[in-house]
């Protein structure tokens, strides 16, 4: 007897894709720790450094176009699309580890950006289609995997670079950031291979594949939906807050507070650690009580915490605030994505996800450069105000956006 799509008797797909997402984010987050060392090694200005991340965001945004098309047109080839994502990331880190030429570094981060976003449309789209009545939970679990990767990645990468000394038992002097970059190739390739071996069933919930003409007609209806466009903008605003804050927090910890790569890694890990617990809870609450109240409360608390960094900019106060902010930074994203999935027609989940991430990347392209200019002039206090204002704007947008299921 055929199982219903909303059944959670087969959680292997959710768990497997969540683990793969975690590995992807382990690699993606490594660049935040490597970044300040790369900046110092190449003697880059704030704007030149920001352009590296802007290039990655542009590439990330553009990769959603083929990812969305291929995810909806070739639903039974999802495993291959996910594997391509991991292989592309591995090539990017290999290039960064082999060269100190600025242009080639840009090519490397462009490959990383392309690969990291290429994962989203096939993975999010497949989970939304497989579990239509539990989208919030399924997508939040997927983001929980990402948060585990984001939490473990920075301290591990930081420890590999700066070394770890624990009494007289453990004395590890560390590798260069170039070596660590090349070491990241191994888990990325291995994950891609494992996806091909164990998740061939991803996409079997699809009855058929779309022709390009059918795909294009359906996508046009999504673009013309003003509520979907509003949700895309809301997701992009959240992404710009996250990108700006995390990017310059790492630089602030290195250049102003003179922390080691390992300590910086632990601080960056705090941004996502609390979210490991809060994200699935928020997903369940959004399935039960609606997307809007969960998003509104989360972004309101984000705004409050961001402005509090003007007072608590070092020591234990800084640590506590980072942890509190981390409860909502990533957790909002799957709820906004689920709200978008609520409106897209069946079979267009990949395109709906792609549109969300295209919006994030378009605004994400501008965010590092604008925040870089702000940081150069106003330091970390300017970043707190910049991110806080965006959060308040997101609250207002969310208030006026209707969010209810129509599919």
In a domain, 180, yes or no: yes
Look at the chain and report how many structural domains it folds into. 1
Q: Which residues contact 55 (CB under 8 A, 6 or more apart)?
A: 106, 109, 110, 113
CA angle (56 as vertex; 294, 120 as ends), nearest 5: 45
Q: What is the DSSP string of 204-242?
A: TT-S-PPPHHHHHHHHHHHHT-HHHHHHHHHHHHHHHHH
Give mean pLDDT in consecutive 10-residue pieces for the chain, a chain of 407 residues.
Answer: 42 74 81 80 79 79 76 74 89 87 88 85 73 68 75 79 65 74 88 81 57 65 77 84 82 81 76 76 81 88 90 84 82 81 68 70 70 85 90 89 63
Query: Which tokens in the block code for residue 220?
Result: 């046009």
In angstroms, rounded to a whole number, what is the distance separating the alpha carbons of residues 305 and 388?
8
**pLDDT at residue 307, rounded to an integer:** 92
In a domain, 37, yes or no: yes
In a domain, 407, yes or no: no
Closest CA to 158 of 243, 31, 315: 31
Residue 160 near residue 381, CB atoms below 8 Å:
no
In angstroms, rounded to a whole number, what is the distance separating the alpha carbons of residues 44 and 87?
28
In a domain, 5, yes or no: no
In a domain, 229, yes or no: yes
Query: Which tokens in the block code for residue 164?
Result: 């770890």
In a domain, 406, yes or no: no
CA angle (63 as vertex; 154, 239 as ends), nearest 5: 50
CATH number at residue 33: 1.20.1250.20
CA angle (31 as vertex; 381, 377 as ends), nearest 5: 25
In a domain, 237, yes or no: yes
Terminal-residue alpha carbon distance, the chain? 25
**pLDDT at residue 87, rounded to an integer:** 92
**pLDDT at residue 215, rounded to an integer:** 62
In a domain, 2, yes or no: no
Query: Which tokens in the block code for residue 90?
Result: 């591995």
| C-alpha pair distances (Å), 163 with each of 172, 173, 265, 328 | 5, 4, 12, 31
Containing domain of residue 144, as a range? 12-400
């Amino acid at each position: 007897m055929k199982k219903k799509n909303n059944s959670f008797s087969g959680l292997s797909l959710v768990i497997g894709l969540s683990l793969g997402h975690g590995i992807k984010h382990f690699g993606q987050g490594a660049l935040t720790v490597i970044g300040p060392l790369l900046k110092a090694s190449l003697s880059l200005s704030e704007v030149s450094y920001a352009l590296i991340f802007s290039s990655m965001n542009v590439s990330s945004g553009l990769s959603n176009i083929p990812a969305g098309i291929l995810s909806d047109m070739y639903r039974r080839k999802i495993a291959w699309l996910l594997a391509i994502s991991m292989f592309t990331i591995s090539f990017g880190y290999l290039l960064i580890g082999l060269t100190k030429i600025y242009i080639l570094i840009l090519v490397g981060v462009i490959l990383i950006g392309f690969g990291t976003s290429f994962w989203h449309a096939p993975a999010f789209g497949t989970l939304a289609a497989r579990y239509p009545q539990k989208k919030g939970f399924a997508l939040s679990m997927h983001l929980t995997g990402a948060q585990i990767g984001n939490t473990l990645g920075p301290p591990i990468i930081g420890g590999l670079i700066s070394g770890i000394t624990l009494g007289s038992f453990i004395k590890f002097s560390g590798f260069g950031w170039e070596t660590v970059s090349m070491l990241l190739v191994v888990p990325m390739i291995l994950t891609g291979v494992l996806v091909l071996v164990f998740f061939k069933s991803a996409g079997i919930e699809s009855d058929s594949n779309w022709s390009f003409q059918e795909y294009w007609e359906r996508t046009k209806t999504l673009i013309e939906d003003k509520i979907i466009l509003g949700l895309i903008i809301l997701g992009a605003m959240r992404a710009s807050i996250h990108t700006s804050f995390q990017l310059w927090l790492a630089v602030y910890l290195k250049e102003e507070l003179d922390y080691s790569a390992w300590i910086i890694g632990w601080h960056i890990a705090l941004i996502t650690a609390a979210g490991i617990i809060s994200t699935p809870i928020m997903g369940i609450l959004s399935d039960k009580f609606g997307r809007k109240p969960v998003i509104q409360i989360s972004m309101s608390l984000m705004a409050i915490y961001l402005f509090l960094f003007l007072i608590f900019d070092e020591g234990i106060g800084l640590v506590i605030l980072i942890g509190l902010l981390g409860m909502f930074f990533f957790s909002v994203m799957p709820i906004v994505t689920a709200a978008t999935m609520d409106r897209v027609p069946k079979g267009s989940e990949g395109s709906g996800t792609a549109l969300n991430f295209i919006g994030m990347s378009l605004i994400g392209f501008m965010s590092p450069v604008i925040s870089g200019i702000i940081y150069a002039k106003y330091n970390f206090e300017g970043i707190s105000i910049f991110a806080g204002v965006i959060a308040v704007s997101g609250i207002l947008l969310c208030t006026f956006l209707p969010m209810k299921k129509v599919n």
